[in-house]
Amino acid sequence: MSLKSERRGIHVDQSELLCKKGCGYYGNPAWQGFCSKCWREEYHKARQKQIQDDWELAERLQREEEEAYASSQSTQGAQSLTFSKFEEKKTNEKTRKVTTVKKFFSASSRTGAKKAEIHEAKAPSPSINRQVSIETDRASKEFIEFLKTYQKSGQDIYKQCKMFLEAMHHKRELSIEEQSECAQDFYQNVAEKLQTRWKVSPEKVEKAMDQIEKYIMTRLYKYVFCPETTDDEKKDLVVQKRIRALHWVTPQMLCVPVNEEIPEVSDMVVKAITDIIEMDSKRVPRDKLACITQCSKHIFNAIKITKNEPASADDFLPTLIYIVLKGNPPRLQSNIQYITRFCNPSRLMTGEDGYYFTNLCCAVAFIEKLDAQSLNLSQEDFDRYMSGQTSPKKQESENWSSDVCLGVKQMYKNLDLLSQLNERQERIVSEAKKLEKDLIDWTDGITKEVQDIVEKYPLEIKPKNQPLAAIDSENVENDKLPPPLQPQVYAG
Amino acid sequence: MSGQRVDVKVVMLGKEYVGKTSLVERYVHNRFLVGPYQNTIGAAFVAKVMSVGGRTVTLGIWDTAGSERYEAMSRIYYRGARAAIVCYDLTDSSSFQRAKFWVTELQNFEENCRIYLCGTKSDLLEEDRKKRGIDFHDVQDYADEIKAELFETSSKTGQSVDELFQKVAEDYVQLMAFQVMTEGEGVDLSQKNSTYFYSCCHH
C-alpha cells in the first residue's frame, strides 16, 4: 500500500500487471492479482474449502443444538452457548469481509472506501453486536415458547429453522435473488410439511408460519436488508431525491379526496405518515406490512370523514401517493425489496396486507414515472415547478389551498387570531380610558354643580333655639286667628 | 389482526366510473357474511367467504384505480391474480375499448388469470334500449374469441351480480380439483427444490 502511494501517475511495473500465477495474461487487483481465469480457479478452491469447513461446523452445531433442545425444553443456557459460537463465527467472517471490501474499493471509488469504513466501524464495537444479539435472543426465546404448543412437531419445526439458518449462512456470498429464492422455498416446504406430514390445522399453519418468519427474519435481517451486493441503497436515494424535487405537488393535482382543513382528517393524515415512516424501524417483513396496513386504514378513515362514504380504490391510491410524497419515508425501495424477497408469499399475493403493499408499490412506481400529463399540467408548468423557478403555492397563497406545511398554516392562522385579539384589546383599553375620563368628568361636573348650588344658596345656620321661637313667632304672626279664649268669670 | 386467509385473488379492472366499486359493494353488503371479517371503512379490498359445493372458498377482491394516469402500474395489481373481472359501461363504448386494453394485457402477462367480462349499468338499458353503446353480439363474439365469460350486471337492481362472483368461485374450485388430479409434476418440482436446499445438512 505504502509503495503504491509513493508512486504517482501511471508508472507501473509491467510484471505487477501480469497474473500472479504467471499464465501470461494480465492480472487485476480486484482479483488479488490474478487474471480472471486463474482467479476463478483459486476462488473456487477457496470456496470449496470454506463450504467444506462450514459443513463440518454446521453439522457439529446441529448436533449440539439438538442435544441442547432435547436436554432442556427451555434451552436458555444452551441457547447462549451455541449463540456465542455463532457470534464468534460471524465476527470472523466479518473481519474477513472487511479486508476484501477494502481491497476492492480503496483504490477505485470513494463510496466504496466509505462503505469499508462503515464496516470497520461496525466490527470493533461489540456493544452493537451485543445489542442485536439480545434482540435476536429474545426472538428465539419467544419462538421456543411458541413451539411448545405444537408438541412434537414443534421440535421438528425448530430443527428445520436451524438448518435453514445454517444453510443461509453459507449462502451469504450468493446474490440476494438466490437467497430470496431459498427463503421462499423454505416457507413453502415448511408450510407443506406442517400440513401434510404433521397434520396441523390450516389456522395453526398460518400462525406457525408467522412465527417462523419472525424468528428467521429477525436473524437474517442484518445480512439481507439493503445488502451491499445490490443497488437498493442507490435506488433509495434516487426516490428520496425525487420526492424532495416534487415538494410542490398539491392534493388538487393528484385529485386527493381528503380535506385537511377538518381537524380529524388532518389528524388521520399525520397518523398515516407516522405509520409509513415507522415501517423502516421494523425487522420482520410481516411487521413492516402491518405498518403499511395501519397507514392505509388511516387513509381510509380520512377519506371517509371527508367524503362521508366508503372509499374506493380511485380515492385510495391518489391519497396514498400524496402521503408518500408528504412523508418521504426512509429507505423506501430497500423496504419494498426486502418485503418482496423475504415475506411469506401467500400473505403477499392475496391477503389484505398484500393489497395495501401492492398499492404502495404502485404509488412508488407512479412517483418515479410522474410527468406533466399525470398531474394534468402543461409541460411548461411542470418544468418550471420542477426547476424551482416558480411554485404553484405562490399563486394561490391567499386561500391556503396549496400544500403549505400544516404547521406554517396553523401559525398563520394563529397570527391572524393574535392580531385580531390585539385589535380588540386596544379597543378595550381605549374604551376603558374613555370610561375613566368620563368618570372623572362626571365627578368633576357633580362637584362643580354642587358648588354652584351651594354658592347660589348659601346655607344659613341659625341658633339652635331659634326654630322653636320661630314656631312661636309664626303663631304670633297669625293675626287672623281669633283671639285666644279668655277665662270668663261668672258672678254668681 | 388483518390476517385473514384468502384463497383466490380477484382483481377488478375497468375505466373510471364504470362502477367497479359499486359492483363489489352491491355484492358484499347484500348478503350474510361468514367469518370474522369487518371492512366498513372502504371497499378497496374485500375478503368474501363463500361456499361452492360444500367447500368454502375465500375470495380476496381487489379494487383498482381506473384512471388512465395509473394505467402503467396496472400490471403490479394483477400479478398473481386467478381471476379478473374486466368491467365496462354498457352505455359507453369508450369504456369497452379500454376493457379490451386490459384483456390484452392480461393475456400477455398473466396467462393463468381467467377473464370475466362484465357490462355494468344494465338497468339504464331497461329504461331506454337506445342507450346501449356497444352491440351485445359484438361483445359476445369478442368474449368467445378470448375465452371469457360474459355478464351484464346492474348494481342498482342486483341483476347477475351474485351469479358473476359465484361463477368465479366455482371456476376456481373446479380448477383446483383438476390440479389435484394432475399434481405429479408439481410435487416433482418441490422435491428438487428441497434437495438443493438442504443438501449441505443431509450429507
CB contacts < 8 Å between A and B, how many?
Answer: 132
**A312 and chain B in contact, CB less than 8 A:** yes
CB contact (8 A) between residue A182 and residue B9: no
Cα–Cα distance measured from residue B189 to residue B123, given in angstroms and rounded to the nearest whole number: 50
Pick B65's closest partner by Cβ from A203, A310, A314.
A314
How large a percentage of chain A has pLDDT more than 70? 75
Instruction: Kindly list the residues from chain B whose CB atom is less than 8 angstroms away from the CB atom of residue A355.
Output: 44-45, 60, 62
Residue A437 has pLDDT above 70, yes or no: yes
Question: Do A259 and A232 contact (CB within 8 A), yes or no?
Answer: no
Mean pLDDT of chain B: 81
Higher-scoring residue by pLDDT: A285, A144 = A285
Q: What is the pLDDT of residues B111-124, one digit of tens each?
A: 889 999 999 999 88
Cα–Cα distance measured from residue A429 to residue B24, given in angstroms and rounded to the nearest whole number: 64
Put simply, whether the predicted model's pTM sits higher than 0.80 gets the answer: no
pLDDT classification of B192: cutoffs 50, 70, 90:
very low
> A266-295 b/e with 16+ CB inside 10 Å = b?
bebbbbbbebbebbeebbbbbbbbbbbbbb
Helix (H) or strand (E) holding B45: strand B45-52
**A303 and chain B in contact, CB less than 8 A:** yes
Pick A312's closest partner by Cβ from B3, B44, B197.
B44
Higher-scoring residue by pLDDT: B193, A212 = A212
**Helices A202-224 and A176-196: angle between axes, nearest 10 degrees:** 160
A337: exposed, middle or buried (Cβ count in 10 Å: 0-12, 13-18, 19+): buried
CB contact (8 A) between residue B73 and residue A163: no
State mean pLDDT over A196-222. 86
Cα–Cα distance measured from residue A16 to residue A7, given in angstroms and rounded to the nearest whole number: 13
Question: How many CB atoms within 10 Å of residue B135?
Answer: 10
Q: What is the per-residue pLDDT for B31?
A: 45
Instruction: Kindly list the residues from chain B whose CB atom is less than 8 angstroms away from the CB atom of residue A317.
Output: 65, 70
Question: Do A315 and A214 contact (CB within 8 A), yes or no?
Answer: no
∠ Cα A158 A345 B172 (to 5°): 120
CB contact (8 A) between residue A373 and residue B69: yes
Question: Do B60 and A352 contact (CB within 8 A), yes or no?
Answer: yes
Q: What is the per-residue pLDDT for A152?
A: 76
pLDDT classification of B26: cutoffs 50, 70, 90:
confident
Q: What is the per-residue pLDDT for B156?
A: 84
Question: Do A195 and A202 contact (CB within 8 A), yes or no?
Answer: yes
**A173 and chain B in contact, CB less than 8 A:** no
Cα–Cα distance measured from residue A65 to residue B103, given in angstroms and rounded to the nearest whole number: 54
Query: Which of A69-83, A108-122, A423-437, B102-116 bottoms out in mean pLDDT, i.e. has the lowest?
Result: A108-122
Question: Do A262 and A306 contact (CB within 8 A), yes or no?
Answer: yes
Query: Which of A136-150, A277-291, A477-491 bottoms out in mean pLDDT, i.e. has the lowest?
Result: A477-491
Distance from CA of B45 to the nearest CA of A (A): 6
**A170 and chain B in contact, CB less than 8 A:** yes
**Helices A352-369 and A313-327: angle between axes, nearest 10 degrees:** 60
Pick A166's closest partner by Cβ from B66, B190, B201.
B201
CB contact (8 A) between residue A352 and residue B190: no
| DSSP one-letter string for A268-310 | HHHHHHHHHHHGGG--SHHHHHHHHHHHHHHHHHHHHHHHSS-
CB contact (8 A) between residue B65 and residue A189: no
Higher-scoring residue by pLDDT: A429, A394 = A429
Cα–Cα distance measured from residue A34 to residue A103, given in angstroms and rounded to the nearest whole number: 13
Question: How many CB atoms within 10 Å of residue A78?
Answer: 17
Cα atoms found within 13 Å of the Cα of residue A77, Cβ hemisphere only: 5
Query: Which of A24-38, A304-318, A402-416 bottoms out in mean pLDDT, i.e. has the lowest?
Result: A24-38
* ipTM score assigned to the predicted complex: 0.83
State mean pLDDT over B14-23. 87
Instruction: Kindly list the residues from chain A whose CB atom is less than 8 angstroms away from the CB atom of residue B38.
Output: none
Reduced to 3 states (helix: H, G, I; strand: E, B; else coil), residue B78 is helix
How large a percentage of chain B has pLDDT more than 90? 41
Instruction: Kindly list the residues from chain B whose CB atom is less than 8 angstroms away from the CB atom of residue A204.
Output: none
Instruction: Kindly list the residues from chain B whose CB atom is less than 8 angstroms away from the CB atom of residue A349.
Output: 9, 79-80
Q: What is the per-residue pLDDT for B184?
A: 46
Query: Which of A267-276, A451-460, B157-166 bottoms out in mean pLDDT, i.e. has the lowest?
Result: A451-460
Q: What is the per-residue pLDDT for B180?
A: 79
Residue A299 has pLDDT above 90, yes or no: yes
**B87 and chain A in contact, CB less than 8 A:** no
Cα atoms found within 13 Å of the Cα of residue A238, Cβ hemisphere only: 12
In chain B, count H helices and then E strands: 7, 6
State mean pLDDT over B78-86. 92
Cα–Cα distance measured from residue B13 to residue A277, given in angstroms and rounded to the nearest whole number: 30
Question: Do A243 and A364 contact (CB within 8 A), yes or no?
Answer: no
Q: What is the pLDDT of residues A254-290, one digit of tens each?
A: 989 998 888 899 999 999 999 999 999 999 999 999 9
C-alpha gyration radius of chain B: 19
**B43 and chain A in contact, CB less than 8 A:** yes
Calculate the alpha carbon distances from A372 to A135, A375, A469 in Å: 47, 5, 115
Cell numbers placing A198: 404433521
CB contact (8 A) between residue B201 and residue A210: no
Instruction: Kindly list the residues from chain A whose CB atom is less than 8 angstroms away from the CB atom of residue B70.
Output: 317, 362, 366
pLDDT classification of A79: cutoffs 50, 70, 90:
very low
Q: What is the per-residue pLDDT for A404?
A: 66
**B64 and chain A in contact, CB less than 8 A:** yes
Backbone dihedral angles phi then psi of residue B177, each to the nearest 5 degrees: -60, -40
Residue A444 has pLDDT above 70, yes or no: yes
Contacts of residue B169, defined as CB under 8 A and 6 or more positions apart, other chains included, come to: B8, B50, B52, B57, B59
Backbone dihedral angles phi then psi of residue B83, each to the nearest 5 degrees: -145, 145
**A58 and chain B in contact, CB less than 8 A:** yes
State mean pLDDT over A291-296. 94
Query: Which of A48-57, A88-97, B120-129 bottoms out in mean pLDDT, i.e. has the lowest?
Result: A88-97
Question: Do B80 and A349 contact (CB within 8 A), yes or no?
Answer: yes
Cell numbers placing A324: 408518500
Q: What is the per-residue pLDDT for B74?
A: 86
Mutate to test the interface with A, among B9, B41, B78, B82 (most CBs of A within 10 A): B41
Question: Do A90 and A84 contact (CB within 8 A), yes or no?
Answer: no
Residue B188 has pLDDT above 50, yes or no: no
Q: What is the per-residue pLDDT for B17?
A: 86
CB contact (8 A) between residue B60 and residue A185: no
Question: Do A254 and A375 contact (CB within 8 A), yes or no?
Answer: yes
Contacts of residue A85, defined as CB under 8 A and 6 or more positions apart, other chains included, come to: A61
Backbone dihedral angles phi then psi of residue A54, each to the nearest 5 degrees: -60, -40
Cα atoms found within 13 Å of the Cα of residue A470, Cβ hemisphere only: 6
Question: Do B91 and A395 contact (CB within 8 A), yes or no?
Answer: no
Q: What is the per-residue pLDDT for B66?
A: 86
State mean pLDDT over B180-198. 48
Distance from CA of B126 to the nearest CA of A (A): 27
**B201 and chain A in contact, CB less than 8 A:** yes
Pick A297's closest partner by Cβ from B3, B25, B41.
B41
Instruction: Kindly list the residues from chain A whose CB atom is less than 8 angstroms away from the CB atom of residue B27.
Output: none
Chain B residue with Cα closest to A179: B197
**A165 and chain B in contact, CB less than 8 A:** no
Q: What is the per-residue pLDDT for A420?
A: 92
Higher-scoring residue by pLDDT: A209, B40 = A209
Residue A40 has pLDDT above 90, yes or no: no
Cα–Cα distance measured from residue A336 to residue A141, given in angstroms and rounded to the nearest whole number: 28
Pick B190's closest partner by Cβ from A188, A358, A361.
A188
Calculate the alpha carbon distances from A386 to A246, A380, A392, A434 in Å: 7, 10, 11, 58
> A225-260 b/e with 16+ CB inside 10 Å = b?
bbbeebebbebbeebbeebeeeebbbbebbebbbeb
Closest CA relative to residue A112, chosen from A41, A171, A30, A167: A30
Query: Which of A56-60, A84-88, A262-266, B193-197 bottoms out in mean pLDDT, i.e. has the lowest?
Result: B193-197
Pick A300's closest partner by Cβ from B3, B6, B41.
B41
Closest CA relative to residue A140, chosen from A191, A75, A189, A198: A75
| DSSP one-letter string for A177-209 | HHHHHHHHHHHHHHHHHHHHTS---HHHHHHHH
**B66 and chain A in contact, CB less than 8 A:** yes
State mean pLDDT over A302-311. 84
Higher-scoring residue by pLDDT: A416, A130 = A416
Closest CA relative to residue A256, chosen from A222, A297, A307: A307
CB contact (8 A) between residue B60 and residue A318: no
Mean pLDDT of chain A: 78
CB contact (8 A) between residue A347 and residue B3: yes
